[in-house]
Structure 1
Amino acid sequence: MNTNKYIEFKKKRELGDILTDTFAFLRNEGKSLFSVLMKTCGIPFVLLLLASAYYTYASSNLFDPVSISNGDMFNSGAMLISLFLMLAALLAFYGLLFGSVLHYIKSYVTNNGIVDYESVTKGVKEDFGSILGLGVLSGIIIFFGFMLCVLPGIYLYVPMSLVFAILVFRNVSVSDSISESFQLVKNEWWITFATLFVLGIIIWVISMVFSIPALVYTFSKTFTAASEGTYADPSAMVDWVFIALNTISSAAQYALYVITAIASAFIYFNLNERKYSTGALEQIDSLGNNS
């Protein structure tokens, strides 16, 4: 039985409360959640890291003066192939991660803090295809928003950040998840944007900590090459040490998506409560049944 203090999701929250409860939930449920993620996302995570390492190696030609002068940076196709593999692995990992976290929270809420691990894995398997499709469709929507102008892209990102939570918690279709996301953020766009913005800054700061070893190694190697007068080929900077450190940094950044997934659940329930007051109505009904 879970002895951690139960965190109520179905209630109104301010920005600070969402951030505080996000990290409180991660602290209380992190160990159990991590065990679930190892089963559902372990293999895709490893494949994503391998794809990221391969992309770092393949993209080193961008800094090779010989390749640039010959115009054959992309002739081998290695960079394009590595980019495709990395994006495909990222999409699979992203879908499984969000599906796992949100189904974990769904079970947590349904059973008042007790998680049914079998229902979590079952839900992830059932919704995986829909989550992948929703990820691709929402990504296209945001992409075209940024292509039109930066502001439409930012505007569309806010409702699109909630589509996975709506899909899982309401068990609706992909199209309904997208349409409902716009209804949910209506008149609440600014507070939702502010929450996502502050959360993004926090995650960026944390990820920068893990990037320090790669940055230190790059600066030290650049300084050494410049002092020895051997800084003629920037592609030489991309050696196996740099690739390893860069991959570790990427691993930390990908793992931090867990925080985003948890926060999206709190944001969803906050907006849902402000719109429909479902949590308050359920509490009233429970009091009536107990009386």
Structure 2
Amino acid sequence: MNNNYIEFKKKRELGDIITDTFAFIRQNGKHLLSILLKTSVIPFVLLLLASAYYTHTYANVFDPVSLSRGELSDMGILLIALVAMFAMLLIFYGALFGTVLHYIKNYIEGKGVVNSETVVQGVKNDFGKIIGLGVLSGLITFFGTLLCVFPGIYLYVPMSLVFSILIFRNSSVSDAISDSFNLIKNEWWITFATLFIVGIVIWIISMVFSIPAAVYSYTRLLTSASEGSMVDPTAMIDWVFIALNTISSAAQYVLYIITAISTAFIYFNLNEIKHATGALEQIDSLGNNK
């Protein structure tokens, strides 16, 4: 057993979830990243390429000169670029969440000792279900948002826990979705508050990585203004901006690791409130040691 083992199966306050999330990253970050390189690096690179291509296509399509003539050329290409970016985001999201949650599952089973091959194999076995669940939960949240913003927000909370339920309970896709609503019953507000605070923390960190692209755009804008030339917004999107923006996007995608770990802590906190499985396991282990 790892002497620095962090117990997942226990009740936590909001602050404890955030603190333990970063404590887990400090202790296991290097090992977890080494496994993510095996499972997620190809989708990650393809996602960055798709994002860069979408940014480039968007600048071409919404060129002010073409718009002034009433022309919207290459809209089909823009749509393809958008679909490709979202498809790669889904695949990367599934690979990352699957890896992180299987890592935590193996971490719990080994009391802090993680077998890399077991994690990788677990991701391979569940990858199809993870992608299917990602599509279904995304559609549920999307259509809830279309109906009204508040149903979308409400549905986002249980849908944020479906991957944890799928992996930690070895559930089916349908059971993961139905169980997520049972899990947040009477606990929606505290779960929302925790996800909201985690989101703010991630947003603050991501803002640091967006500074170079913002500074470059602002510098270009000032230079154009000082020269007295008309500022073409799409002209600001050159290869330097695309590169800086891609780096910023890369950082934001990597920060999904924090989201995945925090949702695991949220899941176990709610599961403990509802079922007290961790407490029962501790009682059983004490009885077996006598």
**Contact between 1:12 and 1:271, CA under 8 Å: does it hold in 2?**
yes
Following superposition, the deviation at residue 63 of structure 1 comes to: 4.2
1:72-87 equivalence runs, <5 A: 72-75=71-74, 77-87=76-86
1:174-213 equivalence runs, <5 A: 174-213=173-212
Aligned counterparts of 1:225 and 1:77: Cα–Cα separation in 2: 32
Aligned counterparts of 2:158 and 2:289: Cα–Cα separation in 1: 38
Q: What letter is aligned with 1:253?
A: Q
Structure 1 counterpart SS, 2:7: coil
Identify the residue that residue 87 of structure 2 maps to in structure 1: 88
**Contact between 2:99 and 2:119, CA under 8 Å: does it hold in 1?**
yes
Structure 1 counterpart SS, 2:178: helix
Structure 1 counterpart SS, 2:6: coil
Aligned counterparts of 2:171 and 2:197: Cα–Cα separation in 1: 29
Between 6-15 and 71-80, the greater mean CA deviation after superposition: 71-80
Identify the residue that residue 172 of structure 1 maps to in structure 2: 171
Aligned counterparts of 2:203 and 2:75: Cα–Cα separation in 1: 34
1:62-211 equivalence runs, <5 A: 62-75=61-74, 77-211=76-210
**Contact between 2:221 and 2:231, CA under 8 Å: does it hold in 1?**
no
Following superposition, the deviation at residue 67 of structure 1 comes to: 1.8
**Contact between 1:33 and 1:101, CA under 8 Å: does it hold in 2?**
yes
Aligned counterparts of 1:265 and 1:126: Cα–Cα separation in 2: 19
Runs of 4+ in 1 over 6 A off after TM superposition: none
Aligned counterparts of 2:190 and 2:219: Cα–Cα separation in 1: 43
Deviations 1:235-257 (A, max 9, x none): 11111100000000000000000
Following superposition, the deviation at residue 72 of structure 1 comes to: 3.2
Deviations 1:81-110 (A, max 9, x none): 111111111000000000000000000001
Q: What letter is aligned with 2:71?
A: D
Following superposition, the deviation at residue 164 of structure 1 comes to: 0.2
Following superposition, the deviation at residue 4 of structure 1 comes to: 5.9
Identify the residue that residue 266 of structure 1 maps to in structure 2: 265
Deviations 1:156-197 (A, max 9, x none): 000000000000000010000000000000011010000000
Aligned counterparts of 1:3 and 1:176: Cα–Cα separation in 2: 33
Aligned counterparts of 2:116 and 2:73: Cα–Cα separation in 1: 46
Deviations 1:193-245 (A, max 9, x none): 00000000000000000000000000110111122122242211111100000
- 1:246 aligned onto 2:245: yes
Aligned counterparts of 2:192 and 2:159: Cα–Cα separation in 1: 11
Q: What letter is aligned with 2:224?
A: A
**Contact between 2:61 and 2:74, CA under 8 Å: does it hold in 1?**
no
Question: TM-score w.r.t. structure 1 length?
Answer: 0.97
Aligned counterparts of 1:19 and 1:74: Cα–Cα separation in 2: 47
Aligned counterparts of 2:189 and 2:3: Cα–Cα separation in 1: 33
Q: What letter is aligned with 1:241?
A: V
**Contact between 1:61 and 1:73, CA under 8 Å: does it hold in 2?**
no
Following superposition, the deviation at residue 61 of structure 1 comes to: 2.9
Aligned counterparts of 1:211 and 1:225: Cα–Cα separation in 2: 22
**Contact between 1:218 and 1:237, CA under 8 Å: does it hold in 2?**
yes
Q: What letter is aligned with 1:228?
A: E
Structure 2 counterpart SS, 1:77: helix
Between 4-13 and 99-108, the greater mean CA deviation after superposition: 4-13
Aligned counterparts of 1:90 and 1:194: Cα–Cα separation in 2: 26
- 1:44 aligned onto 2:43: yes
Identify the residue that residue 215 of structure 2 maps to in structure 1: 216
Aligned counterparts of 1:150 and 1:275: Cα–Cα separation in 2: 28
Following superposition, the deviation at residue 69 of structure 1 comes to: 2.2
Structure 1 counterpart SS, 2:226: helix
Identify the residue that residue 10 of structure 2 maps to in structure 1: 11
- 1:55 aligned onto 2:54: yes
Aligned counterparts of 1:255 and 1:70: Cα–Cα separation in 2: 41
What is the root-mean-square deviation in Å for CA atoms of aligned residues? 1.2
Following superposition, the deviation at residue 73 of structure 1 comes to: 2.8
